[in-house]
Structure 1
Amino acid sequence: MRFRSLPLALLAATTLALSACSAGSLGSSDDEGGKVELSFLVDNSDSSLKPVEQVAKDFSAKNPGITVKVETRPGGTEGDNIIKTRLSTGDMTDVFLYNSGSLFQAIAPQQNLVPLSDQPYAGQLDDNFKSTVTAGDQLYGVPLGGVTGGAVLYNKKVFADLGLKVPATWAEFMANNAKIKAAGVAPVIQTFGDTWTSQLFVLGDFHNVSAADPQFAANYTANKVKFASTPAAVAGFQHQQEVHDAGYLNKDFASAKLDDGLKQLAQGKGAQYPMLTFAVGGMVANFPESAKDVGLFALPGADAAKNGLTVWSPAGIYIPKSTEGAELEAAKKLLAYIASPDGCASQAAAYAPSGPFLVKGCTLPADVPQAIKDMQPYIDTPGKSSLALEFLSPVKGPSLEQITVEVGSGIRRAPAGAALYDEDVKKQAQQLGLEGW
């Protein structure tokens, strides 16, 4: 299931009037002066708009013959429809920002987009990201911003005071929890008042699932394996049940919301919070000390040697086939800039990244929060990070967050929760017309 709170998934739907431009009028060039103007369509969230505006400014400063005009669109379903309509009518801007992964596949990239596999920077992109913007054997996009991690945020001061080490296995995690509870601190924060936050024990555990069964995503899509009957996959449900049954949750877990959980973590009233790293920026804004006091580790699994971070790919920047001539060459130059250390620095100057950049040679700013810095070793080490299941399979059930609330509250046992989720995905898989369902 796609997290509804991710920046590209929970954007406010502000209706924008679209001008009835022809494809040729979206980007313009002045043949006499050699000037080119590129149009760049982006959603209206700060996390997208601010870095794109900065990139446009800095790129034009380095390339005086090219100006970049940024246009905005709503997020959510309305924005999806705008993208698909403009592509189908040849009315798309010269460059545009859109999701990677399964939603990227839904815009028929081989039919609508310019392939980029022959560009010099193609080999500098992270393999995880490339797989989310590839169709057939061609690459079609470059990333905007950093990767988002699904992991455990933890209070480093609590760990230091109790002499705890970052766990790499579930047994180590539970042993730490016993010591944290004995010290009078809530070991694990849960915030079921925002039901989507209940899903991390399952969705954030997918690196451990794929490490144990590298073919799980493909077989899951083909209906050859199930969560309930795959030990590594059902483990996420079991872990959620275990922390509840052991009494390791904050007392207000049933009603607490995201902001409450971040406050408890920052203040050391709770020690660990399974969460997406996009939330770190808001936490630090409200509790500046958490920039250094809160760290991150991957959700522990059964095997320390295979433990790693589950990541959500950033959105991609694409060139539609309607972009031609001088605009096409300028657009390729813009994407090359974005996929470079200078482009990454430009983005970071405008908006704090939610995780490491997925371009070789790009580094995080020195002042990013410690939790974001802690992601870098996972990204840099081969085999220590994996894409979330939603980037590898179109099969997502709509009721996972309700199921994980029930399991995490002791209402439903883990095996029954996993089996119910297997039933939950069936209808959607059939609607997609997938073979085997």
Structure 2
Amino acid sequence: MKKGLKIVLSILICTMLFSSLVGCGNQSNEKGDKVDKQDNKKEVKTLKITMHASWYGKGWQAVEKDINERTEELGYKLDFDKIAEGEQGTQILQTRAAAGDLPDILCINSLQWIDSDLHCIDKVIDLTDQDWTKNYDDKILKSNYGYNEKILAMPLGGTNFPGIFYNKKVFSDLDIEIPTDWDEFLSACEKIKAAGKVPFYVAGKDSWTVQIFNIAGLQREYKGKDISKEYIDLMTNKTNIVDYDKLKDSYAKLKELKDKGYIQENWLSDNYEGQQKAIVDGTAGMTCNATWMMEEIQKSYPDKVDDVGGFSPVFDGDDPIGAWIPNAMLGFNTSKNIDEVKDFLNYFGSIETQTLYFNAQPAIPIAKGIEVKGLSGASQDIYNEFLNPDRGQTIWQSVPMPEGVEYVALGDFPEYSINVLLGERTPEETLQDIREFMEKDAKTKGVKGW
């Protein structure tokens, strides 16, 4: 019995020891599984994305929110580096590029500027084979976002147009029809002024807004012409901007609005936000900006967006309407996180993300397969004018340069417009200022023909 009991006890002890070891092994595996699962999570990288401060709108906010909710799945998050507009922002980027301080991702007006001003086209990531490229017209991508037959940038945002935005109630109450030429425009201003309102609101504190009137005025130089040929001739010094009479006329017309008391007294201290508020409230009858302003109004004044109408700037009548193609976004191969940069660009270019972006910030996309809900009536009105084959053109700032032709900068357009309004420079002197800036820029870059 004792011997039998010993045998039984030995078996029980061995069984317990075996079970214990198995249990420990299971616990060890479970812990190992947890470690493996944690190890399989993507390390979250932070990607620095540089853009002008005003570009961070509702569309980007929606994209950032989506990324933040899926950070571990995607493996990255964004750090927005918001820089100044205009010449100040240009100088910031040029200084950084010269020092080799490039962000992971850059949002800019055009890819060609990377080559002509930042001189780092060789550091841009090739996006030719990314999935998102299938959603766009190949010719558009290669001509505006490509270099040496490679696609180096993706379209950012929608197509935009310069426009005059007006308060519908002001126009209705004063029985004003939409002007079709300059005389009718001045007549509308006079009626609005007589009613005690601001006829033409200028946001001089945010000087980039003031230039749009003259950007549209310059477009008239290319009416009925091959704009690519004409603009390339300007870049290569075959024509002289001093002879651009339509541009000179646009500065004269801007000054005329000021001299006739159609611009508010505090225009130099009033800003972009004030411009939007004045036009939705009806304290101002009209203002000049671009269709991107309607995106801001939809965000800030969703209940008043239908109170604003739009038409293209009027000078001679039936003026050409220029379209800004979407801005450009690209990545640099100097990034320590190139794989994540590529992943982000493919994510952003997808139909799903583009739909998210445009439904948060309605605009006119150039990608296929995107349904935009809530495009403002004012933007649609100007877009309808653009669709007239006798009027729609690429805006001169968006004309791509062929290989071997460099952009020659025209200088600080906001400053030119402000100086004319202040009476510090005449329209004639302004064109001479532009010419001198072009000469200096061309010689600095060593452009042939200058």
Q: TM above 0.5, one fold?
A: yes
Q: C-alpha separation between the residues in 2 aligned to 1:374 and 1:341? A: 26
What's the secondary structure of 1:143's corresponding residue? strand
Q: Which residue of 1 aligns with 2:32?
A: none
User: Residue 361 of structure 2 aligns to which amino acid in structure 1?
Assistant: A
Q: Which residue of 2 aligns with 1:356?
A: 364
Equivalent in 74, 84, 98 of residue 81 of structure 2 = 74
Asked if 1:406 corresponds to 2:415, the answer is: no
Equivalent in 274, 287, 295 of residue 288 of structure 2 = 274
Q: Which residue of 2 aligns with 1:291?
A: 305
Q: Which residue of 1 aligns with 2:267?
A: 253
What's the secondary structure of 1:240's corresponding residue? helix
**1:212, distance to aligned residue in structure 2 (A):** 4.6
In structure 2, the CA distance between the partners of 1:376 and 1:397, relative to structure 1 (3 Å rule), is: closer
The alignment-based identity, stated in percent, is: 18
Q: Give the CA RMSD over aligned residues.
A: 4.2
**1:69, distance to aligned residue in structure 2 (A):** 0.8
Number of residue pairs the alignment of both structures matches? 391
Q: C-alpha separation between the residues in 2 aligned to 1:119 and 1:412? A: 50
Q: Which residue of 2 aligns with 1:389?
A: 397
User: Residue 203 of structure 1 aligns to which amino acid in structure 2?
Assistant: I
Q: Which residue of 1 aligns with 2:114?
A: 104
Structure 1 stretches lacking a partner, 5+ long: 1-29
**1:220, distance to aligned residue in structure 2 (A):** 1.9
Equivalent in 216, 232, 237 of residue 230 of structure 2 = 216
Q: Which residue of 1 aligns with 2:447?
A: 434
Q: C-alpha separation between the residues in 2 aligned to 1:193 and 1:33? A: 51
Deviation string for 1:260-297 (max 9, x for gaps)? 33332222122111124444455555545431111222
What's the secondary structure of 1:315's corresponding residue? strand
Q: C-alpha separation between the residues in 2 aligned to 1:403 and 1:319? A: 33
In structure 2, the CA distance between the partners of 1:125 and 1:72, relative to structure 1 (3 Å rule), is: farther
Q: C-alpha separation between the residues in 1 aligned to 2:345 and 2:387? A: 23
Task: Say which one has the larger Rg.
Answer: 2
Q: C-alpha separation between the residues in 1 aligned to 2:68 and 2:233? A: 46
Q: Which residue of 1 aligns with 2:355?
A: 345
Asked if 1:236 corresponds to 2:236, the answer is: no
| Cα contact 1:293–1:370 (8 A) shared by 2 | no
| Cα contact 2:145–2:328 (8 A) shared by 1 | no
What's the secondary structure of 2:210's corresponding residue? helix
In structure 2, the CA distance between the partners of 1:258 and 1:74, relative to structure 1 (3 Å rule), is: closer
In structure 2, the CA distance between the partners of 1:267 and 1:87, relative to structure 1 (3 Å rule), is: closer
| Cα contact 2:280–2:304 (8 A) shared by 1 | yes
Asked if 1:202 corresponds to 2:214, the answer is: yes
What's the secondary structure of 1:180's corresponding residue? helix
Q: Which residue of 2 aligns with 1:424?
A: 437
**1:218, distance to aligned residue in structure 2 (A):** 1.2
Q: C-alpha separation between the residues in 1 aligned to 2:315 and 2:138? A: 24
**1:99, distance to aligned residue in structure 2 (A):** 1.8
| Cα contact 2:68–2:77 (8 A) shared by 1 | no
In structure 2, the CA distance between the partners of 1:252 and 1:82, relative to structure 1 (3 Å rule), is: closer
**1:158, distance to aligned residue in structure 2 (A):** 1.8
In structure 2, the CA distance between the partners of 1:51 and 1:312, relative to structure 1 (3 Å rule), is: farther
| Cα contact 1:311–1:385 (8 A) shared by 2 | no
Q: Which residue of 2 aligns with 1:16?
A: none
Q: C-alpha separation between the residues in 1 aligned to 2:189 and 2:445? A: 42
Written as runs of structure 1 = structure 2, the 5 A alignment for 1:9-408 is 41-43=48-50, 46-47=56-57, 50-54=61-65, 56=67, 67-72=74-79, 74-76=81-83, 96-101=105-110, 102-105=112-115, 106=118, 108-109=120-121, 112-116=124-128, 121-122=133-134, 124-125=136-137, 131-213=143-225, 214=227, 215-283=229-297, 287-304=301-318, 307-311=320-324, 313-318=326-331, 320=333, 327=339, 331=342, 335=345, 338-348=348-358, 351-353=360-362, 355-366=363-374, 368-377=375-384, 384-389=392-397, 392=400, 394-408=407-421
Q: C-alpha separation between the residues in 2 aligned to 1:118 and 1:147? A: 22
Structure with the higher fraction of residues in helix conformation = 2
Q: C-alpha separation between the residues in 2 aligned to 1:386 and 1:189? A: 27
Structure 2 stretches lacking a partner, 5+ long: 1-36, 84-90, 401-405
In structure 2, the CA distance between the partners of 1:283 and 1:336, relative to structure 1 (3 Å rule), is: closer
Q: C-alpha separation between the residues in 2 aligned to 1:321 and 1:425? A: 31
**1:229, distance to aligned residue in structure 2 (A):** 0.8
